[in-house]
Structure 1
């Protein structure tokens, strides 16, 4: 695949030989030059470019699972390029990282190509010309081509996959005149080969556990501004984490991490590995979550509490007209998609940097600071209950899924 930047550079035969070299050769320990501050800065800068390209410049804005998928394509190609280029030092690795990120985004987001070309030109202007830069460009282009080729026919946007389950107690139904959003996502080809996480499913409708969750969300999740059982702070947290199409959890977690890494640089390979693991884990959790949403199809609280169907549980009392604080998306309760965005992100970061990694989240002109990842997860989890979107079981199981996927991805992705 030929892209504009390759026409502006003469790629030396020695660079092409580097691309053809087996990956095992790249196991040489990372040199200080390859892991220098400049290379780390470039890696973070291209993560910001990816956020801008996917969530700001693309119209309509992709939903968080789709955005996470394209972030994973980018980060995995970038990390592969970094590993290939690092044995040649900072110059080669920096050019490889920028080129890999550019080429993946250039392929999937044609409306942003002019901006991406300008971004790459700016990056390469700061890298010394010569054989090492040319080698890095070739390595990055090859990594991008490999990623793009591997995703042909992966199931994206497969319109033949349509959710359909018979109405009844416990069964989620799409909005009138619509269908399940992103039904195809649960059938995607994985971005990394890890085992599927086994969960026990939603609590049975007649159980005490279901009644406890039902009554909790009924009490605290209703669309009433001055609800007695939900504090003003809890209301603010629920609305904050609801986000917007542009400012969503995937995007503002990443933005917060980029700003943290500006002040606490890790070096090139640790940076590219961190983003690759986060994105592979988040995307894997999203794929497994969407398959559960499709296969299980458990109803949302507003459908249960409305009393349209009797759940035959004497401990639950329907409330006709009950509505959630936060509008519900067009997919089912179990498990939580927000958990799939949050739990893998937090767990990968926790295992790399520790639970006491402080992050400042910015969303739609608002800001919330978290001294620990556990505190962030606490608010993000409860926000979906305070917002009336989920039963607690869908959140707890979603976090278990996300943490377990993170463990698997960390073990698999070096």
Structure 2
């Protein structure tokens, strides 16, 4: 794996985003009534953040990078448009125009709801000519970014291209029970990143050898604590595992919202935070899948059922194993990248951040530092029985490295 580097020193642009984040509970509002208040005024940034989240909705893994791409395109366009506006209502209108144009293009089935949301924003901002011109500037920015990203290999067909697994062999990935589903996201590693240029430079080294002590320790841990009927996994560990069974994009939507809503920065600063978060996590997802389909490492369920070390044909993980190779962990790579962006550009949370999950009804987790989310993702994938610990730790390191490099490269150039 490429050697770890410290987080990038905050640049002039990064310092513009250095406000702390506030506490928030993740919700997924409908498009109507999404406006959030800062004092007595509607916060247009949070308003359109919620519109974007509602448009994307709750997604499954095979849809994640494409959905992250939609976020990135919309908010990069918004950042360009907002930085050309003169602040105030014009900046808000530019933001709304850019995100609206992106979402109606990429999610046309939601056009009526999106039109309603835009009308509500414009009714609030008023009929001034500068406002209407800013909306058109936002739309133009969205069209430009959409054109730039055309053919980037992150459409659903390219990401989920067919894949034929190699013959079964020790350590080699095979479709997993109970459904033995075909591999997904096999083409994701070929996508074009937003911020980094050389994907192979960020690929990790190979996973531990099957005869290594590290592999034996990790296998024993996953076997013991990740089993569906484990007696060594606590109730809290089970809750964390089920909580983070959701996609990373869904899991972090509330965390990023807390950072955006709690920021004291202006519109451009807060829009850039959203744009860079999604650009960096898309890049991390591309690197993850390039490595997954290079190494084709088997999952714990295959290793435990068919491997040479105390095979147990009946062993079953707590969480159903995703249909793609094991190394590195996509959840922890995403978490590592998200951590770097939030720590570098938003600063620490100003208060506790409470999050909920569609995969763990009734469970609320509270976080006071962005690193805690990474920690829980590392643990959760082991406690779920779907990853080895080394895989999770490497994933987090790769995500941090990719995001740090992306932020450093962004400094001094337009998105």
Task: Say yes or no: TM over 0.5.
Answer: yes
Which of 205, 212, 220 is equivalent to 1:215?
220
Measure, in 2, the Cα distance between the counterparts of 1:218 and 1:238: 15
**Cα deviations across residues 74-118 of structure 1 (Å, max 9, x unaligned)?**
222222222222xx2222211111110011110011110000111
Q: Which residue of 1 aligns with 2:231?
A: 228
- How far apart are 1:124 and its partner, in Å? 1.1
Q: Is the 8 A contact 1:65 1:283 kept in 2?
A: yes
Task: Name the SS of the counterpart of 2:187 in structure 1.
Answer: helix
| 1:316-331 alignment runs, 5 A limit | 316-331=309-324
Q: Is the 8 A contact 1:39 1:94 kept in 2?
A: no
Q: Which residue of 1 aligns with 2:242?
A: 239
Q: Cα RMSD between the aligned structures?
A: 2.5
- How far apart are 1:217 and its partner, in Å? 0.7
Task: Name the SS of the counterpart of 2:244 in structure 1.
Answer: helix
2:347 maps to 1:350 = no
Q: Which of the pair has the greater relative contact order for Cα pairs under 8 Å at 6+ separation?
A: 2
**Cα deviations across residues 190-235 of structure 1 (Å, max 9, x unaligned)?**
22344431311211111111111111111111010xx332111111
Q: Which residue of 1 aligns with 2:189?
A: 186
Q: Is the 8 A contact 1:81 1:97 kept in 2?
A: yes
**Gaps (5+ residues) in structure 2?**
1-15, 18-36
Q: Which residue of 2 aligns with 1:68?
A: 68
Q: Is the 8 A contact 1:289 1:340 kept in 2?
A: yes
- How far apart are 1:61 and its partner, in Å? 9.0
Task: Name the SS of the counterpart of 2:312 in structure 1.
Answer: coil
TM-score, normalization by structure 2 = 0.82
2:333 maps to 1:340 = yes
State which drifts further: 167-176 or 278-287. 167-176
| 1:80-159 alignment runs, 5 A limit | 80-85=80-85, 88-155=86-153, 156=155, 157-158=157-158
- How far apart are 1:392 and its partner, in Å? 0.9
2:379 maps to 1:361 = no
Measure, in 2, the Cα distance between the counterparts of 1:141 and 1:321: 56
TM-score, normalization by structure 1 = 0.82
Q: Which residue of 1 aligns with 2:29?
A: none
Measure, in 1, the Cα distance between the counterparts of 2:268 and 2:42: 8
Q: Which residue of 1 aligns with 2:392?
A: 395
- How far apart are 1:354 and its partner, in Å? 3.0
**Gaps (5+ residues) in structure 1?**
1-28, 31-35, 311-315
| 1:285-300 alignment runs, 5 A limit | 285-300=284-299
**Cα deviations across residues 277-335 of structure 1 (Å, max 9, x unaligned)?**
1101111011111111112110000100112x43xxxxx43222111101011011111
Q: Which residue of 1 aligns with 2:203?
A: 198
Inter-CA distance 268–190: structure 2 relative to 1 (3 Å threshold): same
**Cα deviations across residues 234-275 of structure 1 (Å, max 9, x unaligned)?**
1111111112xxxx3312322233245434443212211111
Q: Is the 8 A contact 2:226 2:385 kept in 1?
A: yes
Inter-CA distance 62–73: structure 2 relative to 1 (3 Å threshold): farther
- How far apart are 1:177 and its partner, in Å? 6.3
**Cα deviations across residues 151-195 of structure 1 (Å, max 9, x unaligned)?**
222222126552432321111112466421121211112223444
Point out the structure with max Rg over C-alpha.
1
Q: Which residue of 2 aligns with 1:172?
A: 173
Measure, in 1, the Cα distance between the counterparts of 2:180 and 2:316: 19
Task: Name the SS of the counterpart of 2:168 in structure 1.
Answer: coil
Inter-CA distance 61–178: structure 2 relative to 1 (3 Å threshold): closer
Q: Which residue of 2 aligns with 1:380?
A: 377
Inter-CA distance 169–97: structure 2 relative to 1 (3 Å threshold): same
Inter-CA distance 62–213: structure 2 relative to 1 (3 Å threshold): closer
Q: Is the 8 A contact 1:218 1:305 kept in 2?
A: yes
State which drifts further: 357-366 or 204-213. 357-366
Q: Is the 8 A contact 1:40 1:266 kept in 2?
A: no
State which drifts further: 341-350 or 249-258. 249-258
Q: Is the 8 A contact 2:260 2:273 kept in 1?
A: no
Q: Is the 8 A contact 2:161 2:186 kept in 1?
A: no
Inter-CA distance 163–290: structure 2 relative to 1 (3 Å threshold): farther
Inter-CA distance 39–273: structure 2 relative to 1 (3 Å threshold): farther
Q: Which residue of 2 aligns with 1:54?
A: 56
Q: Which residue of 2 aligns with 1:370?
A: 367
Q: Is the 8 A contact 1:355 1:374 kept in 2?
A: no
